[in-house]
Amino acid sequence: MSTATTIPGYVVGTWDIDSVHSDIEFTLRHLGVGRSRGRFDGFGGEIVTAENPLDSTVTANIDPATINTGNGDRDAHVRNSDFLDVENFPKAGFRSTGIRPDGSDYIIDGEFTLHGVTKPVSLAAEIGGFADNGQGGTLLGISASTTLNRTDFGVGPEGGAMLGEKVKITLEIEANLRAE
């Protein structure tokens, strides 16, 4: 079983996700051969690191209206009722339900809500470390990823050659230790 002593520099506390220094990106197939990429620009959340890392928790929220694929027309189409329907579903989010070791890394199990649908999701996570943030505070870095089926959440049409159903989500998160 993993303990805090196995994670160099481990710090117990409550951390606020720094959206300026973090990224939530996605990739999915387009026309069966290429890949379309994008990100969400509006998100936040909290990480609570416990004495035992396996008792830690993560909550995150995403504003689906902030989707950014680098093409304004495509972004507008993805925001409408054909896909994310941000008018009726203005929030997405993740809440951890457990953390388990995976070699020297971790799996963060939780529930992800998108398009009004909540499903279990597991994130493969790597702790980048803990460091001084250069401004008198402490910084936590985590990389994580998962693959979702967008149709499980009712997003976009099922099947078809235009758009793949599997969506790879990649998170590069930096969080700042909250002053208590």
Q: What is the pLDDT of residues 97-128, one digit of tens each?
A: 999 999 999 999 999 999 999 999 999 999 99
Question: Which pLDDT band, with edges at 50, 70 and 90, does 20 fall under?
Answer: very high
β 67-68/34-40 pair status = antiparallel
Tally of residues, the chain = 180
Q: What is the pTM of this model?
A: 0.92
**Angle ∠(159,165,166) on CA atoms, nearest 5:** 155
Q: Which domains does the chain have, with CATH numbers?
A: 4-177 (2.40.128.110)
Q: Answer whether residue 172 shows pLDDT above 80.
A: yes
Specify the pLDDT at position 163: 79
Q: Which residue has the higher pLDDT, 7 or 72?
A: 72
Q: What percent of the chain has pLDDT over 70?
A: 95
Specify the pLDDT at position 53: 93
